[in-house]
Structure 1
């Protein structure tokens, strides 16, 4: 267990966050319990964050910034902390996503991580390992902030119809997830298309991939394996995957028709079933 007096602010972004939180709290003359009362949490939680044993949430950071007059420091550090908690092999990819001006994604089996709900993400991440699942889920969701920033990338997402039918976390979680996808209707920066089963053989049969485009840097193609990611700027690979993506967009349903299909699957496959008396049933 890390002791507050031996916390090394240079050990990690999380340690630095805890060090700064403690420093500002002590300068304000507040106990952990008093700060907890102000930001609507326990003093114990404040202590765990200060000693790098618990990840801070964005709402906690924002409230602590106001309470301690940090000028927004903790909220700015929060993004760095969350990115540092990603698997080492994925941290470069998260940085690429954050810098991209356009992200083109094709997913064969599940909803892209940047579009996942909490329940869906938790189900995906917890398949074989439930250790620190809440924290790992929070870290994944924190990546989605890049879609809400002023300079957010344009995001094109093509999902196989299989991703709508592969049940993750139960029917209620899937209903919530599909409703979340529909919430982006009318948003010109987040465009979702569905590749229907009726498309048959298609250009993405080799698997999921992302294409990241930048203001001035070379385009990068990203593919993923078990516990590893593979970004490449190889011109031949970029040309091949860009062509494949063009064909996938042509084969996929238009955006409006895709939303109609998502809505239909949500209602027919994951809608609330009722008995003869009108009461909900599983």
Structure 2
């Protein structure tokens, strides 16, 4: 007879969250650990482990890392967590994220909002919660998006991070995401990031007008094998671009964008100006 704490195995094909719980149960039983013992080793309660195994609670990055440490499984649970979080991402984004993690240089154009790698947690959460209020995603999916973004951003803190060149359309600085306090911190974060030798930030001013060739945010990733992968997003899905003809056009347009955008010093001055304008409202 089964107890509440030892439920029947769920269908492991039903969702990434269920597969995480399934693997946690398998690993625990292989060690002959109870849920209470597993929780003690991971720093949680037995009830929390039960919730994870029954897919009643979403795994977090911290949970995955602690599970790998407790079971000495390398990055098995971390990889399961990554698969789980991707269920909340736009179609096509998972493939892009894999390529981004391996790239040597990233060139990105931000339109409307600041690109993900440059976002603060509060800024990212404000965007995610707005999607929740619109009914586009669930609260759980919002949490997953923010947590996955945090994991993506670790690439900037690697011992040998990729070069990052970001061009931000001026509207990214003027659109107050999350309120003045969140936006002030976000703009200050851009100033701090721009001090790193591997990160360059330029602003594309409003007066560029029709010379801003792109109408959607785009990313160009230079890979170790010297190939280039492109990525662009619409409202509903992301698109990974591998066509050499298309990418040649994107690269030419991006190079022109760098010429038309403000120089780095003037760009930093514009970011500081936007921050100081907002500070009077905080």
Partner of 1:107: 110
Gaps of 5+ in 1: 274-281
Greater Cα offset, 157-166 or 208-217: 208-217
Looking at structure 2, the residues matched to 152 and 108 of structure 1 have their Cα atoms a distance apart, in angstroms, of 24
Looking at structure 2, the residues matched to 195 and 45 of structure 1 have their Cα atoms a distance apart, in angstroms, of 48
How far apart are the structure 1 equivalents of 2:191 and 2:17? 35
Which residue in 2 is equivalent to 1:203? Answer: 212
When normalised by structure 1's length, the TM-score is 0.80
TM-score between both structures, scaled by the size of structure 2: 0.80
Q: Using a 3 Å threshold, how does the CA distance of structure 1 residues 70 and 223 change in structure 2: closer, same or farther?
A: closer
Contact 1:79 1:142 in 2 (8 A): no
Q: 1:131 aligns with which of 121, 134, 138?
A: 138
In structure 1, C-alpha distance between the alignment counterparts of 2:21 and 2:97, rounded to whole Å = 23
Instruction: Could you tell me which runs of 5 or more consecutive residues in structure 2 were left unpaired when the two chains were aligned.
Output: 1-5
CA distance in 2, matches of 1:229, 1:267: 34
What residue number does 1:225 align with? Answer: 234
Q: Choose 243-252 or 93-102, whichever is displaced more.
A: 93-102
SS at match of 2:257: helix
Give, in whole Å, the separation in 1 of the partners of 2:8 and 2:269. 57
Q: Tell me, yes or no, if the aligned pair for 1:103 and 1:211 is still in contact at 8 Å.
A: yes
Cα shift at 1:168: 1.1
Q: Distance in 1 between matches of 2:198 and 2:177?
A: 26
- Partners of 1:253 and 1:243 in 2: CA distance: 18
Does residue 62 of structure 1 match 2:69?
no
Superposition deviation, residue 161 in structure 1: 1.4
RMSD (Å), alpha carbons: 2.9
Candidates 89, 92, 102, aligned match of 1:86: 89
**8 A contact 1:82–1:142 mirrored in 2:** no
Q: Structure 2: how far apart are the matches of 1:72 and 1:221? A: 28
Counterparts of 1:69-218 in structure 2 under 5 Å?
Answer: 69-125=72-128, 126-127=130-131, 128-129=134-135, 131-132=138-139, 133-149=142-158, 152-216=161-225, 218=227
Name the stretch that deviates more: 183-192 or 75-84: 75-84
2:268 is the alignment partner of 1:259 = yes
Q: Give the superposition deviation at 1:138.
A: 2.1
| The one of 243, 246, 260 aligned to 2:252 | 243
Query: Compared with structure 1, are the counterparts of its residues 150 and 15 closer, same or farther at alpha carbon in structure 2 (3 Å cutoff)?
Result: farther
Check the 8 A contact 1:109/1:160 in 2, yes or no. Answer: yes
User: Cα gap change, 1:215/1:203 in structure 2, threshold over 3 Å: closer, same or farther?
Assistant: same
Q: Is the 8 A contact 1:212 1:219 kept in 2?
A: yes
Structure 1 residue 112: Cα displacement:
0.7
Of the three residues 14, 20, 23, the one matched with 2:23 is: 20
Distance 2:249 2:75 in 1: 44
Residues 57 and 251 of structure 1, relative CA distance in 2, 3 Å threshold: same
Q: Distance in 2 between matches of 1:21 and 1:185?
A: 41
The answer to whether structure 1 residue 268 and structure 2 residue 271 are counterparts is no
